[in-house]
Chain A
Amino acid sequence: KQEVTQIPAALSVPEGENLVLNCSFTDSAIYNLQWFRQDPGKGLTSLLLIQSSQREQTSGRLNASLDKSSGRSTLYIAASQPGDSATYLCAVLYTGANSKLTFGKGITLSVRP
């Protein structure tokens, strides 16, 4: 079964810390992987998209990496701020998945001032 796992479910860090959020997937036959941010009661905001042929993508303080052989992606957040507090979701588009994204359950991040 094609699954996406995000551990831990919650994380609390002090402001200014560099942090890594992990995402694991069970099948290396992926089309792409996307990281989202969700604030309480809101929709999902796309942060970074990594195609299967890419190793990483960067946007501002965010860097996402992809290692298909190990079934892992990481989202690196540099110099975390209280405004980064949100739930971060990883979603994989598996090849042959009839266009359906497979989501992890998300990591709820709290950045303490």
Chain B
Amino acid sequence: EADIYQTPRYLVIGTGKKITLECSQTMGHDKMYWYQQDPGMELHLIHYSYGVNSTEKGDLSSESTVSRIRTEHFPLTLESARPSHTSQYLCASRGPRAEAFFGQGTRLTVV
């Protein structure tokens, strides 16, 4: 069983608010990822990290930012939420066997 957790699971927030989506893993994995997925659509990589103090932009341009101060924690922040940010955000980490594990996701709705 993978130990990777995302909070909150659901979030409804007003336009212009600042939000942080949390992702934590207890497996000691160096590599962590954030994906964005609209309902019924494919996954898009928006950020990833090789380890502490490492962050990279993914394949899909995103107005969000990430930080990696601790190995186990990889939060994603939106400084000013807009309706176009409404989506599901999935966090993942990858282990030494290179097996990837995903959290349950955060479904964000910006009204």
Contacts and interface: CB of A to CB of B under 8 A. Distances in A.
Contact of A105 (B31, B42, B88, B98): B42
B99 A34 contact: yes
Contact of B45 (A34, A44, A93, A100): A100
- Give 3 closest A-B pairs by Cβ, nearest first: A44-B102, A43-B102, A43-B104
A93 B104 CA distance: 22
Interface of B: 2, 6, 31, 33, 39, 42-43, 45, 48, 50, 56, 58-59, 88, 90, 92, 94, 97-105, 107
Contacts of B105: 41-43
Contacts of B92: 44
B90 A43 contact: yes
Interface of A: 31-32, 34, 36, 41-46, 49, 51, 89, 91, 93, 98-101, 103-106
Query: Taking chain A's interface residues, is the majority helix, strand, or loop, or is none over half, making it mixed?
Result: strand
Given A43-B90, A105-B42, A99 B50 contact: yes
A46 B101 contact: yes
Contacts of B88: 41
A42 B42 contact: no
B48 A43 contact: no
Given A99-B31, A100-B48, A46 B42 contact: no
B98 to A, nearest CB: 5
Contacts of B100: 34, 46, 91, 101
A32 B100 CA distance: 11
B99 A46 contact: yes
A34 to B, nearest CB: 6
A103 B104 CA distance: 18
B58 A100 contact: yes
Contacts of A101: 33, 45, 100
Given A44-B90, A103-B43, A49 B48 contact: no
Contacts of A44: 90, 92, 102
Nearest to B101: A46
Contacts of A31: 98
